Chain A
Amino acid sequence: MNPPEQSPPARWVRAGYLVPLGLVLAAGYCVHGVAGYFRLSSETATLRQSLMDSAGGTWDKTIAVNIGGLTMGLVRLGARLFPLDPEPRAALETVRGAEVGVYKLQSAPLCMDRASVFATVDKAMAGRGWQRVVGVCKDQELVGVYIPRKPMAPRRMRACLMVWHDCDLVVASARGNLEPLMALAAERLDLSRVQRRLGGPWSP
Chain B
Amino acid sequence: MKRTMLVVAFGMAMLAAVAVSARAENPLPGQVDFGTFSPPGSKGEYVEINVPANLIALVARFVEKQDPEAAQLLNRLQLVHVSVIGLNDENRADLEKRAQKVRKDLEGKGWERIVKVLKQEQDVGIYLKTHGKDTVQGLAVVVLDGKQQAIFVNIVGDIKPEQLALLGDRLHIEPLKKIGQMTEKAEQ
Contacts and interface: CB of A to CB of B under 8 A. Distances in A.
B65 A186 contact: yes
Contacts, number: 60
Interface residues of A, number: 27
Given A139-B43, A186-B65, A133 B52 contact: yes
B181 to A, nearest CB: 21
Which of B41, B62, B86 has the most A CB atoms < 10 Å from its CB?
B62
A138 B36 contact: no
A133 B45 contact: no
B46 A138 contact: yes
A162 B90 CA distance: 27
Nearest to A143: B47
Contacts of A132: 48, 50
B4 interface: no
Closest 8 CB pairs of A and B: A137-B39, A137-B46, A135-B48, A151-B54, A115-B39, A115-B38, A189-B65, A189-B66
A154 B52 contact: no
Nearest to B46: A137
A70 interface: no
Interface residues of B, number: 25
B61 interface: yes
B93 interface: no
B51 interface: yes
Interface of B: 36, 38-55, 58, 61-62, 65-66, 86
A190 B47 CA distance: 35
Given A114-B42, A154-B58, A131 B65 contact: no
A182 B61 contact: yes
Nearest to A154: B58
11 contacts: A115-B39, A115-B46, A118-B38, A118-B48, A119-B38, A131-B52, A137-B45, A137-B46, A138-B44, A138-B45, A186-B65
A1 interface: no
Contacts of A139: 42-43
Interface string A137-161: 1111010000100011010010000
A178 interface: yes
A136 interface: yes
